[in-house]
Amino acid sequence: MRTSVTGTSAISPAARTPRRQPARCAHAGFTLVEILVVVVIIGVLAAAMLLSVSLTGQDRELEKESTRLVDLFTYAREQAELQTREYGVLFQDDGYEFLVYDPHRALWRDVFEDDALVERKLPDGLNVKLNVDARPVVLKRPKDATDKTPQVMIFSNGDLSTFSTVLERDNGVRSVTIAPDDKGVIAQQPMVEVKR
């Protein structure tokens, strides 16, 4: 007599349940292409923000140079009062230089004893214009290094010549005017931008 095994009683419980494969995630991480796309998008957004800031009147170089000139004027004025000496500023088309009057030699000379008041060149793309007593001054470099006469005077009592100077981009799009206010304090006016 043969007994046939029918049903499930002869199959072990482990054999009855199908083995499940471990589930694989479709995306275990980011692919290189996805990372590159994100980097490119961030780069484009950063460039757009940078351009929009520079096109809306921000000119860090112009602001930095105008602030430096105001600070140097204030410093030279303090030095003139402290030392009871006459100081002056010689402007050129591409920079400016502080001078001090030497009474023994009866001439204007460089302020070689103070590194803060050395000759300064403006960065490329920036120009300077000067008005003294409401008249424009033609700025040119002295022919002789000993023939230096300042256009703007800083007197030993702290008084100044009446002047205004404009730092501007060579295309004239942006400019900053620096002049004494009605109380005699050197101040810079807000940047002016000409729309073209």
Following DSSP, what letter does each residue of 117-170 receive, concatenated? GS-EEPPTTEEEEEEETTEEE-----SSTT----SEEE-TTS-B--EEEEEEET
Query: pLDDT, tens digit, for every residue of 130-141?
Result: 999 989 888 877
- Does 21 have pLDDT greater than 70? no
Mean pLDDT across the chain: 81
Please classify residue 120 by burial: count the beta carbons closer than 10 Å to its beta carbon, then call 0-12 exposed, 13-18 middle and 19+ buried.
middle
Which pTM was predicted? 0.66
As given in the structure block, the two tokens for residue 153 are: 């005077």
- What pLDDT is recorded for position 60? 86
Query: pLDDT, tens digit, for every residue of 156-181?
Result: 998 888 999 999 887 778 889 999 88
Instruction: Give how far the C-alpha of residue 181 lies from the chain's centroid of Cα atoms, to the nearest Å.
Output: 25
How many Å apart are CA 84 and CA 56, to the nearest integer? 44
Query: pLDDT, tens digit, for every residue of 49-100?
Result: 666 545 544 678 889 999 999 999 999 999 999 999 999 999 988 889 999 9
Higher pLDDT, 110 or 142: 110
How many Å apart are CA 86 and CA 80, to the nearest integer? 6
- What pLDDT is recorded for position 68? 93
Reported confidence tier of residue 125, pLDDT bands at 50, 70, 90 = confident
> In which residue are the tokens 């112009």 written?
62
- Picking from 56, 71, 14, 62, the residue whose alpha carbon sits closest to that of residue 187 is 71
Reported confidence tier of residue 151, pLDDT bands at 50, 70, 90 = very high
What's domain 60-193's architecture? 3-Layer(bab) Sandwich (3.55)
- What pLDDT is recorded for position 78? 93
- What pLDDT is recorded for position 86? 94
